[in-house]
Every structure is written in C-alpha cells, then in structure tokens.
C-alpha cells in the first residue's frame, strides 16, 4: 500500500530519515545548575547558522546540551563539519551529533547555490573532517529532553526532520521540552524559495507539519523577521568585521556567496541573518517585541504553496495547532547582541 503524504503525517511512518539514524548518542557529561538555562540546537550549518552558533556560545548563563545537525542548506556531513568548526573556533565543548541525511520522504534539495559548496561562502576556511560526538542527533535530543526534564529549550535552525522523527519515536518528550523556537516559515506569506514558502519548511514540509502538530510549545521566527530586522548592508558588515576578532571576521566573510545572491535575486540591500535573529529571540525573548498566537498548519502538497505556513484566524474552530508567531522584533537590541557576541 502506498501512503499519501497526508497519511504519512497522520500515521508518523518514516522512511529515509529514520533509516539514516541508528547509533546511540554519547552520554552528556555536563550538569545544568539552577541558574543556567539548557538548550539543544538543531542546525543545517551554513553561513547564517554559523553566526547563530557564535551568538549561543557567547551568551552567559547558557549550557548547550547538544547540537544536532540535519541536511538542508548543505548535506548533513558538511553541516556537521561546519558545526564542529564553529564550536572549536569559539573554544566551546558542546557535543555535536550528526542527524538526518535526507528529508522524511523527499529527495534533498540544498541551498549551496546560496551559501557555497562548503556552506561557508567558499572562502577557503580551514574546515577539516572531524568525527562528531555521535551519529544519532535524534537519540541525543531525546536523551537531553529526559535529562533536563521540563527545562530544556530547543532551537531549530534548519529543516525539522530530526525533530519530527524524535517526537514520533518518543512522544513522551513533548511535555518535557519547555519551549521550541523554530526558524522557519513566514508570517506575512512572502517566501524566499517560492512566492509564499520559506526554505526550511519547503525542504521537508512533512517534518514541519508533524512538528507543528506535535504539541510542542512552539515559537516561530519566520524569514520575514530577518528580512525586516536583520539585513546588513556593506557598511554595516564592515563595521562588524572591524571588531577584529577571528569570529567577527569569519562571521562576515562567510556571507560572501549569500551577499552575491542577495544582490542578484532577493532585492535586499545586503545579506540577511535569519538564524541569528531567531537565536537571539530564543536566548533573549524580549528581542521579539510583538507576538501573536495563531493556529498553524503546513501545506505538504507540491507546487508553489509547498511548505507554506498557513494560519487560520477566521474559523471558530481553527485548523492546526496554536503556536506563538513573532511578528516584530527590535533591530537595535539584536544588533547590539550580535556585536557583543562577536567581541567575546
């Protein structure tokens, strides 16, 4: 029997993504104290994800319980190498776990035409092969949710494949995760891969729908927030690079391909940083200045609406799960946080 995509979402049957994950995660050694927040980051590490990781590593009072990688911007092995490179660049020790190599039921389509073949702008960074802590990002997330029961915060920067598999494999973790900040979708229906769809949801729309319907406490930070509050022109980029630290220089230089793409395709006045502003909202919720609770679903059909986050504001019995959607943010607060993180 051949399942439709809708059947897949409803039954939770997974193929490619589950097949890509199998090894047990390594044990976590660090213990969170009462005055530290614990977060787990899921990332398809390319140039903007790299800056988001720099922000997280620099934030005081944060313990990074783990970093899971996923195929999206780049293939998962490239994403894993980049995550390890940024971790080591920042002198951090967070464990990195390789995750899903493909979307749940679709072939992978990357954004290497935007971020470069290495995901980091193809500028010749000394990124080397280095083994991750494990090859089971799903298992690592499940273990972290149980270890930090009720306090773990999840931040997703890429397609939601790992998250969908985790909540299907271990639905008991849903109430154990305090908050899940998702960089994905758009709240104003202006997309960056189709007229109405954002890349992360578009790459694996089935995973996005499963995650939104999972019962997780979700806060969505869409590409519209980056487009409105996190664009940097050449002068602003030069000011950041002039901070002079190695991480500041890498943070700007690795946007080279994205800057070229922006000039030709998006009409933005510079490159934008969607994952960093989502990370900023996750770490400092006050950076989001306006939120709205909406019933949300994700369109899994093919065509120009594939991956579109759809919000139901009209029905008395709205379709979908109610999530918090960030509609406005403070650019001033975000830029200050970014500068401070890159000085660290």
Q: How confident is the model at residue 205, as a pLDDT?
A: 98
Quickly tell me which residue has 């890498």 as its tokens: 250
Count the neighbouring beta carbons within 10 Å of the beta carbon of residue 19.
Answer: 11
Taking a C-beta distance cutoff of 8 angstroms, is the pair 237, 273 a contact? no
Q: How confident is the model at residue 35, as a pLDDT?
A: 74
Dig out the tokens for 217 from the structure. 């406490």
Strand (E) positions, 212-256? Answer: 218-221, 231-232
Task: Starting at the earlier edge strand, list the strands of the sheet with 96-97.
Answer: 96-97, 62-69, 37-43, 152-156, 177-183, 218-221, 321-329, 288-298, 309-312
Q: How confident is the model at residue 271, as a pLDDT?
A: 96
- Distance linking the first and last C-alpha atoms of the chain: 56
Taking a C-beta distance cutoff of 8 angstroms, is the pair 17, 131 a contact? no
Q: Which residues contact 138 (CB under 8 A, 6 or more apart)?
A: 21, 68, 99, 100, 162, 165, 166, 169
pLDDT, tens only, 22-61: 343 433 444 445 578 999 999 999 999 999 999 999 999 9
* Of 42, 117, 88, the residue nearest 250 (C-alpha): 88
Q: How confident is the model at residue 124, as a pLDDT?
A: 97
Q: How confident is the model at residue 34, as a pLDDT?
A: 58
Q: How confident is the model at residue 33, as a pLDDT?
A: 52
Q: How confident is the model at residue 64, as a pLDDT?
A: 98
- Kindly give the parts of the chain with pLDDT less than 70: 1-34, 316
Quote the pTM value.
0.91
CA distance 52 to 73: 14
Superfamily designation of domain 35-343: Ribonucleoside hydrolase-like (3.90.245.10)
Q: What is the β-pairing status of strands 321-329 and 218-221? A: parallel
CA distances from 41 to 84, 140, 144, 152 (A): 13, 11, 11, 11
Q: What 3-state class would DSSP assign to 178?
A: strand
Q: Tell me which H or E stretch contains 324.
A: strand 321-329
DSSP structure class, residue 45: -
Taking a C-beta distance cutoff of 8 angstroms, is the pair 103, 71 a contact? yes
CA distance 187 to 324: 11
Q: What 3-state class would DSSP assign to 67?
A: strand
């Amino acid at each position: 029997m051949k399942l439709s995509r809708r059947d897949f979402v409803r039954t939770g049957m997974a193929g490619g993504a589950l097949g890509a994950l199998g090894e047990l995660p390594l044990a976590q050694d660090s213990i969170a104290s009462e005055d530290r927040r614990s977060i787990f980051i899921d990332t398809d590490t390319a140039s903007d994800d790299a800056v988001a990781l720099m922000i997280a590593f620099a934030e005081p009072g944060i313990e990074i319980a783990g970093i899971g990688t996923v195929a999206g911007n780049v293939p998962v092995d490239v994403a894993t190498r980049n995550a390890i490179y940024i971790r080591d660049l920042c002198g951090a020790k967070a464990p990195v776990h390789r995750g899903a190599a493909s979307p749940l039921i679709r072939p992978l389509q990357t954004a290497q035409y935007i971020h470069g073949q290495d995901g980091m702008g193809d500028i010749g960074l000394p990124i080397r092969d280095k083994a991750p802590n494990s090859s089971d990002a799903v298992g690592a997330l499940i273990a972290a949710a149980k270890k930090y029961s009720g306090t773990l915060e999840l931040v997703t920067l890429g397609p939601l494949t790992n998250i969908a598999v985790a909540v299907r494999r271990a639905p008991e973790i849903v109430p154990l995760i305090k908050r899940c900040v998702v960089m994905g979708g758009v709240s104003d229906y202006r997309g960056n891969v189709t007229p109405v769809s954002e890349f992360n949801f578009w790459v694996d729309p089935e995973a996005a729908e499963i995650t939104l319907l999972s019962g997780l406490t979700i806060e969505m930070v869409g590409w519209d927030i980056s487009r409105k509050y996190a664009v940097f022109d050449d002068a602003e980029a030069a000011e950041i690079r002039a901070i002079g630290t190695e991480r500041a220089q890498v943070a700007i230089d690795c946007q080279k391909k994205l800057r070229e793409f922006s000039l030709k395709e998006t009409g933005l006045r510079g490159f934008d940083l969607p994952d960093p502003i989502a990370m900023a909202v996750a770490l400092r919720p006050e950076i989001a200045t306006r939120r709205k609770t909406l019933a949300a679903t994700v369109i899994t059909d093919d065509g120009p609406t594939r991956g579109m986050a759809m919000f139901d504001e009209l029905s008395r019995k709205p379709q979908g799960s109610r999530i918090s959607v960030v509609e406005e943010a403070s650019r001033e607060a975000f830029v200050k946080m970014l500068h401070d993180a890159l000085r660290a």
